Amino acid sequence: MDMTAMVDVAFLLLTFFILTAQFRAQDAAAIETPSSISGIKVPDKDIMTISLSKEGNVYFGIDNQQKRLDMLDNFAAANGLSFTDKEKKAFSLLSSFGMPKTQLKAFLNLDPEKRNAYKQPGIPTDSTGAGAANELKDWVFNARKANNDLRIALKGDNLAKFPNFKNVLSTLQAQNINKFNLITGTEAPPAGWTAD
């Protein structure tokens, strides 16, 4: 049997998928987002993602690896911490993390396999958004210091309770950030509905 044509098509498909592939980043927690009819796509770059798991833990991440390092440097300087090059390297590979600052160093020193399996407790927040124990505000501040163009995406789990979301909201509002994107799945609008 002459397979040439089939092989041609197969490799064409292979090329297509290789070129369009965008790998799913490993996230700190599995999050199932609700769906909405909104058709706006999430921007590709300059994006800060604050995730809220169903237990109410907060995870934080920015997309650019170089900016992650800048952010860590800013954060370390502001909090009197220091990180070795190895720890910085490990940090730059995390697409999102949820560790309090006191445990971050030990977490970065774990073996990669152990680190992936480690259950991260989430970044501390509070209800006023500006308290001393609120570390999310420091991360948000230092991330924006590292990259001023960052847009903010909130990614919450279906089952996350509203008060936890409110804590994140007030943290952002306390820094005068009043516009964000909520990441949702896509669902079809009801029949007959048209956008304005």
Partner 1 sequence: MSEIDTSGGGGGKGDGKVRSKKASTRIDMTPMVDLGFLLITFFILATTLSKPSSMTLNVPDKTKTEETEPIKASNVMTIFLGKDNKAHYIFGKAANEDPEVKTVGYGYDLRKAIQEEARKVPADKFVIVIKPTKESTYRNMVDILDEMAITKTKRYALVDELTADEKALIKDKLKLDV
Q: Which amino acid is located at 110 in the chain?
A: L
Interhelix angle 85-92/101-108, nearest 10 degrees: 100
Q: Rule CB under 8 A: is residue 191 a binding residue for partner 1?
A: no
Q: Does 14 bind partner 1 (CB under 8 A)?
A: yes
The whole-angstrom separation of Cα 12 and Cα 20 is 12
**Distance (Å, rounded) from C-alpha 126 to C-alpha 135?**
9
22 versus 148: smaller Cβ distance to partner 1: 22
Name the residue among 127, 147, 56, 61 with its Cα closest to residue 96. 61
* Burial of 105 (C-beta count, 10 Å sphere; 0-12/13-18/19+): middle
Question: Does 128 participate in binding partner 1 (rule CB under 8 A)?
Answer: no
Cβ 73 to partner 1, closest distance in Å? 29
Among 69, 126, 131, 165, binds partner 1 (CB under 8 A): 165
Nearer Cβ to partner 1 (80/163): 163
Q: What's 97's DSSP letter?
A: B
- Interacting positions 72-91 with partner 1 (CB under 8 A): none
**What residues line the site for partner 1 (CB under 8 A)?**
1, 3, 6-7, 10-11, 13-14, 17-18, 20-24, 33-34, 36-42, 52, 153-154, 156-166, 169, 173-174, 176, 178-186, 189-190, 193, 196
